Amino acid sequence: MNKWLAENLGEGHFFRSFDLNLPRQSRSNPHPTREGMIRWMDKVVSWVQSESAVKFPSVNKPVGEQMSRGKSFVYKRMKEQL
């Protein structure tokens, strides 16, 4: 899927996150932890600023306390009801 997206969307239109080394929930649940999600989105914002073919002049990675990330988020495990 990543290869197809990169080839068909073209340079600067696809951020490949597959190879990122992110903290994961567990061996059986490969979804990123909260810290992993933060790192992932920070990488996306950096990529948009430097490599994306689509330019967003107002996109800046938060620095220090510029943006507060909530301490809680809803996470549903597979086969688990909310």
Q: Does the reported pTM lie above 0.95?
A: no
In this prediction, residue 72 has a pLDDT band, given cuts at 50, 70 and 90, of low
Structure tokens at 41: 């989105």
**CA 23 – CA 18 distance, rounded (Å):** 13
- pLDDT tens per residue across span 20-70: 999 999 889 888 998 898 899 889 888 888 888 887 777 666 666 555 656
Beta bridge partners of 32: 24
Structure tokens at 56: 């967003």
Length of the chain in residues, anyone? 82
* H or E, element range at 49: helix 34-50
**CA 68 – CA 81 distance, rounded (Å):** 29
